[in-house]
Amino acid sequence: MPDGAAVPTKWNEIRQRIADSQRLAVMTGAGISAESGVPTFRGADGLWRNFRAEELATPEAFARDPKLVWEWYDWRRGLIADCAPNPGHMALAQMATKVPVLNLITQNVDGLHELAGSTDPVEMHGNIWKVRCTDCGQVSADRRVPIPILPRCDGCGGLLRPHIVWFGESLDEAVLARSFGAFEYADIALIIGTSGVVQPAASLAGLAKRAGAYVVEINPDATPNRALVDVTLSCAAGAVLPHLVPL
């Protein structure tokens, strides 16, 4: 929005609803990360050495050739390393200081919410900057770029894998419980930059609406959520979220 431009009345109304809320639930998807320059790693963006993401991000691929999978993740980490939180990420971190409860659920694995200052975001699909030991199960942060291949656990020496939910793997039950609980008990919900087609995240907007929440979608692209929500703001997260932070 140009400097000096009037904030739309609808934005002010939503900001007031957020200010008056007791439990705010937020879901973010690839759209908010794209504003920071994070590639999707799906489709054309996922092609690497003639492999696609769907071929490499699987437990079978890792079991067959862990070196190849780690080389791909090291490439991905290198692309993301210089990406910084954008005004949308920063606004959500600030918003959490203005309301009694803000539960932030993200489908993104880039860790940008945490870098922006959000505390304890629920990362449904894991975090590319975390590793998990295939022997002892220890999860730890590791931001080395490049990462030594093959990386080993400091505790037991076991092979480390990316702490990512791969194709064919189930989401962690505790993560699912936190995600669904956040939207079931919210009085207002923000659905930001997500396609609305990847389950189970795609069901959260409808869950919140059925539970009586006021549901806001923020996405410049049309999604299936538009039939479910109370209002859609057809703009980028970084353009609108700073104006929704309560004063």
Give the pLDDT score at 224.
Answer: 87
pLDDT digits (tens, 9 = 90+) for 213-232: 999 999 998 888 888 899 99
C-beta separation of 149 from 71 below 8 A: yes
CA angle 48, 49, 55 (to 5 degrees): 65
The pLDDT of residue 103 is above 80:
yes
Secondary element (H or E) of residue 154: none
The class level of CATH for 9-37+85-125+171-244 reads alpha beta
pTM surpassing 0.85? yes
Encode pLDDT of 19-45 as tens digits: 999 999 999 999 999 999 998 766 556
pLDDT digits (tens, 9 = 90+) for 128-152: 999 999 999 999 999 999 999 999 9
CATH number for region 39-82+126-164: 3.30.1600.10
Task: Note if 89 is an active site residue.
Answer: no
Average pLDDT over residues 197-219: 93
β 160-164/126-133 pair status: antiparallel
With a cut of 60, say whether residue 3 has pLDDT above it: no
* Residues in contact with 76: Cβ distance below 8 Å, sequence separation at least 6, in sequence order: 41, 128
Across 183-196, average pLDDT: 95
Residues of the chain with CATH 3.30.1600.10: 39-82+126-164
The chain-wide mean pLDDT, for the chain, equals 93
Q: Is the dihedral of CA 48, 50, 51, 53 positive or negative?
A: positive
Name the pLDDT band for 4 (thresholds 50, 70, 90). Answer: very low
- 2's CB contacts (< 8 A; 6+ apart) are none
Q: Which of 89, 113, 125, 163 is catalytic?
A: 125
Percent of the chain having pLDDT more than 70? 95
Assess whether the previous peptide bond of 246 is cis (omega < 30° from 0): no
Which residues in the chain are classed under CATH 3.40.50.1220? Answer: 9-37+85-125+171-244
Does residue 52 register a pLDDT over 80?
A: yes
